[in-house]
Amino acid sequence: MNISVLGAGAWGTAVAIALTAKNNVLLWGRNATAMQHMASTRDNATYLPGHPLPATLDITADFERAVRHASGAQDLLVIATSVSGLRPTLVACQPFAPHNVIWLCKGFEENTQLLPHQIAKELLGDNINTGALLGPSFAQEVAKGMPCALTIASHSQDLCRLVVQALHVNAMRVYSSDDLVGVEVGGAVKNILAIATGVADGMGLGLNARAALMTRGLAEISRLGVALGGKAETLMGLTGVGDLILTCTGDLSRNRKVGLALAQGKTLATIVQELGHVAEGVRCAQAVRGLAAKLGVDMPITNAVAGVLFDGISATDMIGRLLSRDAKQETL
């Protein structure tokens, strides 16, 4: 199968490495100098250092070549940009009319509050098979070939079969779902909750507090997912509770690192400078807070995180506000 991965960050590179086990894969990045260096050194020194790129992995900065490589009926175009980069990438792909497109990003578009599949529908319509490939996964472990389970969510059974055929190999397991809303909401909101648990851990509040935040956070994810038309049971799976556990507890999580830094009193600007990029949970928090308010969905942890990120509330005050909430019956 011909597959092109658009986006040579850590996750795009890791997925490209995994896909070469049984496919003809091309990895595209916009920086021509960086892509030439990757091709010659067989290493993504900027985003995924120390993980050799297979000799069979083709590397290019030629966008048209990359999209045309994966434009056949049995080919697969994989978009590995951030949510903010999804719209312009899809627009750039339109002239080449690819048959099968999936994305790896997790979040809501900041200004429109749209999920990735809603952006894709707006730009590509219903004539192209589209879907989201998400789940609990760190790029470094996927690049090493360590065990991993993902979910492909799509309304097209043909696309689900195609993705399973391409990725279900060696230590990687791929499951399918038709609940795009549930899968994408789980993947998006867990990043916000990872910031919250990072704050709690950074303040030394203990494992009990972490468990409470994650559990009540899962309730927030479920409420929003159902309000948007998703299935509650989807949030109990890989892209819900599975991704939540990984991102809230794993030391490789960028969003958890944001929370740990906030607990130290660092500003968001300082944190972004130290990380070298904005973690998706930061962008997502503002969009989800606005969407929840519009839908009347109660999301106190999300609101607290957004308050720290954007309203000048301290991490200490955030925890205080959450702990001072009135007792109520436990419900989803």
- Active-site amino acid positions: 190
How far is 47 from 25, CA to CA, in rounded Å? 19
How far is 195 from 103, CA to CA, in rounded Å? 23
Return the closest-CA partner of residue 284 out of 217, 213, 185, 216: 185
* Pairing mode of beta strands 129-134, 148-153: antiparallel
Query: Which residues lie below 8 Å from residue 159, measured CB to CB, with a gap of 6+?
Result: 100, 102, 129, 130, 131, 152
How far is 317 from 314, CA to CA, in rounded Å? 5
The conformational region for residue 312 under phi > 0 = left, psi -120 to 50 = alpha, else beta, is: left
User: 209: which 2 tokens?
Assistant: 């507090």
How far is 222 from 215, CA to CA, in rounded Å? 11
Residue that has been written with the tokens 């979040």 in this structure: 107
* Pairing mode of beta strands 76-79, 2-6: parallel
How far is 188 from 198, CA to CA, in rounded Å? 16
The helix (run of H) or strand (run of E) holding residue 180 is helix 180-202
